[in-house]
């Protein structure tokens, strides 16, 4: 494991997280930290357990072993409480509220930061109106931040793909998180959209929000991340800066496959080649 460049307080700390489904161990004792103001990438081949690990972090799965803590307090394994604590997420396959408007989607994201219940909704006191107005203003700020303020009244389902991705991020930001988890934010995007997302992630970090992202687009991850962790077959293989990870042989092996163990050396290869050349020529002469 490589050393970190800066020592800061951890926002997220996963200790010894293990997730088993019956006999299958999807995530095996992973220790993982995200510090404040950091962008951390999580990569790994398909089926490495990245999304499972994400789901453990956000409470969708209850880890078989280990704990996840946010700013020092252990998180309860309930998604809504995790969000309330300050971790927001997006999904690998977009999960917007398709039949709600763009603004309503972001307002739903405000759920944990508002507390007006049924009675307040029925009685419509001044507090209710104030809270609704404040929520709407905050939601509009976020829509401006991602550049969708003109489409506030469109249904989410009618947005183009790239804008749906952005909206999902805005919805997550609405819960005022300290840590944002992005599950493949550029999947299915063209290069321009990917670059725009890159800028968006930097802008989110500049707001003081730590970002953890799963991604398959290597250039995107290495450009963006202060630190990259590699997950292979449920285990954390390497963690470090982009350069360290890119140079690590085990990572290359995990993606491209191990070199064959009885790999013939260069000298042997030349020998075999020469021998083959010899046999073919003799064959040729015999005929």
Partner 1 sequence: MTDTTTRALIPLPLAAARALVLVGGIATIVSAFLAWTWTSEFPGDLTITGYPGGLQWLTLIAGVLVTVFALSAYGVPGLGWLIPARNNAPLVLTAIGAFGVTWYTIISIAAELGGLANLEPGGWVAAIASLLPVIGAFALPEPHTESTKDNLKAYIAKPENIPAPAPLSPWLERAVITVATIIGLAVFTYGIDTEYGELFVGFLIVVVFAVWALHTAGLMDRFSRIVAHNRSFTLAMGFAAAIAFPFTQTDDHYANIGVNILIFGTVALGLNIVVGLAGLLDLGYVAFLGVGAYTAALVSGSEFSRFSGVHFPFWAAALAGAAASLIFGVLIGAPTLRLRGDYLAIVTLGFGEIFRIAVNNMDGESGPDITNGPNGIPSIPDLNFFGFNLGEAHDIAGFTIGRFANYYLLMVLIMALVVLVYTRAADSRIGRSWIAIREDETAATAMGINGFRVKLIAFALGAALAGLAGTVSAHVTYSVVPTPYQFAGSTPPNSAFLLAAVVLGGMGTVAGPILGAALLYLLPEKLVFLQDKSLLAFGIALILLMRFRPEGIIANRRRQLEFHETGQLDVPDTTTLSGEPAAVTKAGA
Residue ranges in contact with partner 1 by CB under 8 A = 58, 60, 79-80, 83-84, 88-89, 91, 93-100, 104, 107-112, 114, 116-118, 120-122, 124, 128, 131-132, 135, 153-161, 164, 171-172, 175
Report the C-alpha gap between 166 and 200 in whole angstroms. 9
Give the bridge partners for 3, in sequence order: none
Closest to 84 measured CA to CA, from 211, 178, 212, 203: 178
Q: Which is nearer to partner 1, 69 or 112 (CB)?
A: 112
Q: Which is nearer to partner 1, 150 or 270 (CB)?
A: 150
- Shortest distance, CB of residue 79 to partner 1, whole angstroms? 4
Report the C-alpha gap between 204 and 186 in whole angstroms. 15
- Shortest distance, CB of residue 112 to partner 1, whole angstroms? 3
- Shortest distance, CB of residue 161 to partner 1, whole angstroms? 6
Q: Which is nearer to partner 1, 114 or 242 (CB)?
A: 114
* Backbone φ, ψ for residue 181 (5° rounding): -105, 120
Q: Which is nearer to partner 1, 35 or 175 (CB)?
A: 175
- Shortest distance, CB of residue 265 to partner 1, whole angstroms? 51
Report the C-alpha gap between 82 and 206 in whole angstroms. 23
Q: Which is nearer to partner 1, 68 or 237 (CB)?
A: 68
User: What's the token pair of residue 39?
Assistant: 């962008």
Report the C-alpha gap between 15 and 26 in whole angstroms. 16
């Amino acid at each position: 494991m490589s050393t970190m460049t800066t020592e800061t307080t951890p926002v997220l700390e996963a200790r010894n997280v293990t997730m088993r489904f019956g006999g299958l161990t999807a995530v095996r004792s992973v220790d993982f930290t995200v510090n404040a103001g950091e962008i951390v990438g999580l990569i790994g081949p398909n089926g490495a357990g990245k999304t499972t690990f994400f789901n453990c972090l956000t409470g969708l799965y209850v880890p078989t072993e280990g704990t996840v803590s946010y700013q020092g307090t252990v998180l309860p394994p309930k998604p809504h409480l995790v969000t309330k604590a300050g971790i927001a997420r997006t999904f690998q396959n977009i999960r917007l509220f398709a039949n709600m408007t763009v603004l309503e989607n972001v307002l739903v994201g405000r759920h944990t930061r508002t507390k007006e219940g049924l009675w307040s909704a029925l009685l419509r006191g001044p507090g209710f109106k104030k809270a609704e107005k404040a929520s709407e203003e905050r939601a509009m700020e976020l829509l401006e931040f991602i550049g969708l303020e003109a489409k506030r009244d469109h249904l989410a389902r009618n947005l183009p793909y790239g804008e749906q991705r952005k909206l999902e991020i805005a919805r997550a930001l609405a819960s005022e998180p300290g840590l944002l988890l992005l599950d493949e934010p550029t999947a299915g995007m063209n290069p321009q959209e990917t670059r725009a997302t890159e800028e968006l992630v930097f802008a989110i970090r500049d707001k003081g929000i730590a970002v953890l992202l799963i991604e398959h687009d290597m250039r995107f991850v290495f450009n963006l991340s202060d630190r990259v962790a590699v997950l292979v077959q449920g285990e954390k293989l390497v963690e470090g800066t982009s350069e360290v990870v890119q140079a690590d042989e085990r990572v290359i092996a995990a993606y491209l496959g191990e070199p064959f163990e009885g790999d013939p050396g260069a000298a042997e290869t030349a020998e075999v080649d020469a021998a083959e050349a010899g046999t073919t020529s003799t064959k040729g002469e015999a005929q």
